[in-house]
Structures are given as C-alpha cells and as structure tokens.
Amino acid sequence: MAASDLINLSGLMDDAKCFAFVRQHRWPEGVRCPACDSSSVIRDGCDDTQPHRQRYRCKACASRFDDLTGTVLAGHHQPLRVWVLCLYFMGLNLSNRQIALELGLDASDVQIMTEQLRRGLVAKTPAVELTGEVEIDEVYVVAGHKGQPAAVAKRGGSDGGASWQARRAVARWRRTNHRSSA
C-alpha cells in the first residue's frame, strides 16, 4: 500500500511556508528584480488564486513579478507544495515512478517536473572545486605498446581522446539512467 493511501502529505503542507521557502532560497539577501537586478522593490499585493504568492513591483524599471516569476515553478498548474514535495523526494533518491505514486500524479508528469527541477538546480550550482584526496573512476591505461612510444602517442591523440569521451558519456548515461529508472 502506498503511503498516499494513508496520508495525503501534500494536504498537510503549509502553502505560506512553501512560498517562504522559495523566497528564502531565491533571494537570501532580499527580493531583487528579475529584469534589472535592482533591490529597489516594493510589494504589490498577492496572486488572485494563490494568496501566499507575493507580487512585487520594481521601482527602477517598473516591471512586475512575483515569487515564482522566472523560475521553473512558474506557469504550472501543480500547487507549489507538490513541487516542494517532489524536490524533497528527489533528495531521498526516489525514482520518478515512486514520486508519482506518493503524489498521485502521472509518471510522465513527474518526469517533466524532475527534469525541470534538475535543470533549475543545476543552473544555480557553483562550479565544482576539488580539494583534498580525489578519486577518479573509469581510467583506462594503454598497455601492450612496450618499446613503441610512437604508437602509444598516436593512440593517446585525437583517436584515443574521442573514444575516452565516448566511454565517459556512456558511463554518465548509465549512472543517470539508473537513478531515474524504477
């Protein structure tokens, strides 16, 4: 029996807190205009159908926006709390199928949501910085060319580089595929 048969998690969530969560992560230093990046922003009422979705007006460029404008969460019919739960389940490494079961949604809808959330999250992730001990997998060592340095150099050139990249792409595909499949 799915947990959703016993408890409707989404129904227990607080909309106001979900919007506060997005606001806090999007603008940790205070609201900024998505059009001109000015911090000279005033509140401008709330959304007509979602009372906790704050609207704003930029005093610098006069553009209007709200908590979700310009995010992957804007323009979707799923309530924000469903997106927040989806993000939470992704953090628990649940598959799209498991998330769909928990939220009572179509697996294909969840597939689109998780793709969009990943894209949105990846865009904000800072460049990876390696420190300390670093371990590398998928390393291939050319062997069997003893006494033939010219042949080794040739294989390690354009030809060897291309196949190494292809292997890496396959490994990455295998990993992501594992993660998103049931």
Secondary structure of the chain in HEC code, one letter for each residue: CCHHHHCCHHHHCCHHHHHHHHHHHHCCCCCCCCCCCCCCEEEEEECCCCCCCEEEEECCCCCEEECCCCCCCCCCCCCHHHHHHHHHHHHCCCCHHHHHHHHCCCHHHHHHHHHHHHHHHHHHCCCCCCCCCCCCCCCCCCCCCCCCHHHHHHHCCHHHHHHHHHHHHHHHHHHHHHHHCC
From the list 61, 74, 112, 166, which residue makes contact with Zn ion (rule: CB under 5 A)?
61
Task: Pick the stretch among 27-35, 66-74, 131-139, 145-153 that binds Zn ion (CB under 5 A).
Answer: 27-35
Rule CB under 5 A: is residue 111 a binding residue for Zn ion? no
CB nearer to Zn ion: pick between 43 and 172: 43
Rule CB under 5 A: is residue 166 a binding residue for Zn ion? no
Shortest Å distance, C-beta 22 to Zn ion: 19
Rule CB under 5 A: is residue 38 a binding residue for Zn ion? yes
Rule CB under 5 A: is residue 41 a binding residue for Zn ion? no
Rule CB under 5 A: is residue 117 a binding residue for Zn ion? no
Rule CB under 5 A: is residue 68 a binding residue for Zn ion? no
Task: Pick the stretch among 24-32, 50-58, 72-80, 122-130 that binds Zn ion (CB under 5 A).
Answer: 50-58
From the list 18, 22, 58, 94, which residue makes contact with Zn ion (rule: CB under 5 A)?
58
- Please give the backbone phi and psi of residue 58, each rounded to the nearest 5 degrees, phi first: -85, 125
From the list 18, 22, 31, 33, which residue makes contact with Zn ion (rule: CB under 5 A)?
33
Q: Which residues bind Zn ion (CB under 5 A)?
A: 33, 35-36, 38, 58, 60-61, 63
